Amino acid sequence: MSCHKNVYITTPIYYVNDIAHIGHAYTTIIADTLARYSRMSGLDTFFLTGTDEHGQKIEESAKAKGKSTQAYADEISATFKNLWDDFHISYDKFIRTTDKDHKIGVQKAFSVMHDNGDIYKDVYKGHYCISCETFFPKTQLVDDEFCPECGKSTVIVEEESYFFKLSKYQDKLLEWYHNNPDCILPKSKRNEVIRFVESGLDDLSITRTSFDWGVKLPENFNDPKHVMYVWLDALMNYVTALGYGTDEKNMRYWPARIHLIGKDILRFHAIYWPAFLMSLGLPLPKHIAAHGWWTRDGEKMSKSKGNAVNPREVANAYGLDNFRYFLLREVPFGGDGDFSQKALIDRINSDLGNDLGNLLNRLIGMSEKYFEGNVDCINVNKFYRAELDEVEASIEKLEPMLFEMQIHRYLEELWRPLSVANKAIDRYQPWTLMKEGKEEEVMALNGLIAVILAKVATMLYPIMPEISAKIAGALHFQISHASWNHLIKEKNMLDPFKLEKIPPLFPRIEEPLLAQSEPGNKKPETKTAKKEEQKNTGVALIGIDQFFQASLKVGTVIEAEEVPKSSKLLLLQVDIGEENPRQVVAGIKEWYSAEDILGTQVCMVANLKPAKLMGLKSEGMLLAAKDSEGLSLIRPEKPKTAGTPIG
């Protein structure tokens, strides 16, 4: 890696239609790990993350929540930024596609591509999946209608559109894949891309007229009804963040050393993005690395199942660094991974507690007992050369593994020195050596363990920054470029020091710390598991994201009448700030007459699927509380504008 002076690392920019889950945290933590290592090794590093805020999907999500699109995007974007800040993610820039500079950059790119003869206007007709923001040819649809990626229904879109001449770049792309065997990682994924491109590329529709939440075309196109296709807009973030089209001083970081992405968005990054860059005359990224998919307790995570793993909850319960370690150690990069509390607990108790934490405890114990906490590495080479060589051989292998996205192997290899140290204690038995009066050998053994811990802590720092800093603190040094140089590059020892006693780093975890899933329970979302959970906690716990799936609104009852032949139902028309009032059939007649409720305010669930009661359509449900004394509607304490969201 030393041949690249500038290192630019990116995550995908996340859609603001939902809060972050484990998949987002995974990508971001890998990128953070690479950025931290890169900085520690002295390279000029720029790490970018952010949010992807345009497009029909976001517009619709905002509408469903009764919010303005910008306000909604601001809110969710902030939840991502706050999470990364709380997770101490070391990003250099958090970009939002609603940033002015970004929009200017995208418009500039559009003009440049157009001037280079790569954009033309035509009519598009095709099947569009709003959820994936992607067109699919009919041949790829499931049952002629459903999206092959997410399974949702597609819509037929016919509209005037600008097209990008993607087909023109087919051969150049193939040439790039062939000449750069590791441009796509893992390498197996490259073959998939090559096969796809070889099967032929159609030109790409890159503007839309059916909605307007997006970047407009440059003014000189005089075509205000068009907005840019969200993927053109989004991909451009990787260069607009460096100032493309505005203040270009950070463009020196381009091309990206690595774009980290999930496997589902490989096509956009490995085909569209390099083609756009070729059209813009910009160099292509060095690597596009696609990771696999996380499931939970063996099941796909989804909004509807409400089983997404909330990274904040996991980190709060188990410790941020432990969570980071688990994510990076558990699955080979590119493969799919399963999150379960059992697997996480096993990693913490075994790898972290037994192998790493205990080694530090053993060192603290021995140096206290025999040397009042003093440690000296002076004779390590004399007595333990073989062990030290083994350790250095492992450490040397590490760095390339990181940037080849072999992080699980990096961690596996990093654990070898720990096992060398643990075995050395068992083999040389310091307590026997002490009895034999071989103090010098015991001090050297302690020195060996200390230097191993110091090297491991340094190389573990990118993955577990806080824990590593604590270990380094106990060993009286600070992790920095200088200590990396000293301990790793130049393979030096530690200067003599007095060991700091610190509390155990990984107290043993005996049982799951989160209510949602139990160890060994493969399907926490089954009815039995749900019941178990309710038994334990008194109530089924949901995440804030699940709560926000319900759209709750204040409404004003503008018409009320009795439903003929029904002793329970009233038929209401409720104004919730939409063009037409909602019709609600409410089972409240025993407690409220039509006159009672007319003109009053109610709180209502506004995104329930419509139902029919006594043959009448009901498009919402009123919130009410019922106890032995009867039913009472829940109303705002003070009058609120009809349609005001609750939450």
Interface with ligand MSP (CB under 6 A)? 12-15, 23-24, 26-27, 52, 234-235, 237, 261-262, 264-265, 293-294, 301
Nearer to ligand MSP, 10 or 367 (CB): 10
∠ CA 358-343-534, rounded to 5°: 120
- Chain-centre distance for alpha carbon 337: 14
Identify whether the C-beta of residue 65 lies closer than 8 Å to the C-beta of residue 551. yes
Report the alpha-carbon distance of residue 403 to residue 289 in Å, rounded. 10
The helix/strand/coil state of 351 is helix
| AA letter at 316 | N
**In sequence order, what E strands does 322-387 have?**
337-339, 374-375
Q: How does DSSP classify residue 201?
A: -
DSSP, collapsed to helix, strand or coil, labels residue 470 as: helix
Distance in Å, CB of 55 to ligand MSP, minimum: 9
Taking CA 345 as the corner, what is the angle to CA 339 and CA 347, rounded to the nearest 5 degrees?
Answer: 85
Q: Write down the least CB distance from residue 248 to ligand MSP, Å.
A: 20
Pull the structure tokens for residue 573. 């028309």
CB 30 within 8 A of CB 104: no
| Beta carbons of 294 and 336 less than 8 angstroms apart | yes
CA distance 248 to 457: 38
Work out how close the CB of 212 gets to ligand MSP at its nearest, in angstroms, rounded to a whole number.
19
For 577, list phi and psi in degrees, rounded to 5. Answer: 80, 5
Give alpha helix (H) positions in 116-200: 170-179, 187-198
Q: Which lies closer to ligand MSP via its Cβ, residue 29 or residue 235?
A: 235
User: For ligand MSP, which is the closer residue by CB, 290 or 442?
Assistant: 290
Q: Kindly tell me which of 265 and 622 has the beta carbon lying closer to ligand MSP.
A: 265
Phi-psi region of 413 (alpha: psi -120 to 50; beta: other; left: phi over 0): alpha
Closest CB to ligand MSP among 27 and 367? 27
Please say which residue, 293 or 591, places its beta carbon nearer to ligand MSP: 293
Q: How many angstroms separate the Cα of 119 from the Cα of each of 30, 161, 392?
A: 36, 10, 55
Q: For residues 37 and 238, which CB has a smaller minimum distance to ligand MSP in the complex? A: 238
CB of 583 to ligand MSP, least distance (A): 35
Q: Which amino acid is at 369?
A: K
Buried/exposed code over 370-399 (b: 16+ C-beta within 10 A; e: otherwise):
bbeeebbbeebeebbeebbebbeebbeebb
Report how far residue 526's alpha carbon sits from residue 242's, in angstroms, rounded to the nearest whole number: 47
- The closest residue (CB) to ligand MSP is 262
| CB-nearer residue toward ligand MSP: 235 or 494 | 235
Q: Which is nearer to ligand MSP, 13 or 201 (by Cβ)?
A: 13
Q: How far is the CB of 210 from ligand MSP (least distance, A)?
A: 19
Cis amide leading into 400 (omega within 30): no
Closest approach of ligand MSP to the CB of residue 575, in Å: 35
Q: Residue 112 has which token pair?
A: 């440049």
Minimum CB separation of residue 201 from ligand MSP in Å reads 19
Sign of the alpha-carbon torsion through 634, 638, 642, 647: negative
State the burial class of residue 249 (Cβ atoms within 10 Å of its Cβ: 0-12, 13-18, 19+).
exposed
Shortest separation between residue 346's beta carbon and ligand MSP, angstroms: 20
Nearest residue (CB) to ligand MSP, 192 versus 532 = 192
Query: Which residue, 293 or 497, is less far from ligand MSP as judged by CB?
Result: 293
Nearer to ligand MSP, 15 or 177 (CB): 15
Tokens coding 405:
């996205």
Contacts of 36 by beta carbon, 8 Å cutoff, 6+ apart: 90, 461, 462, 465
Give the shortest CB-5-to-ligand MSP separation in angstroms.
Answer: 25
Q: Which is nearer to ligand MSP, 39 or 108 (CB)?
A: 108
* Least CB distance to ligand MSP at residue 267 (A): 11
At its nearest, how many Å lie between ligand MSP and the CB of residue 132? 8
Given the complex with ligand MSP, which of 301 and 633 has the nearer CB atom? 301
Integer distance in angstroms from the first to the last C-alpha of the chain?
A: 49
Nearest distance in Å: CB 215, ligand MSP: 14
Supply the minimum distance, in Å, between the C-beta of residue 14 and ligand MSP.
4
Q: With 0-12 CB in 10 A as exposed, 13-18 as middle and 19+ as buried, what is 609?
A: exposed
State the angle between helix axes of 187-198 and 170-179 in degrees (0 to 180), rounded to the nearest 10: 160
CA angle in degrees (0–180, nearest 5) for 548-554-557: 140
Question: Shortest approach of ligand MSP to residue 77 CB, angstroms?
Answer: 12
Distance CA 572, CA 248 (A): 59
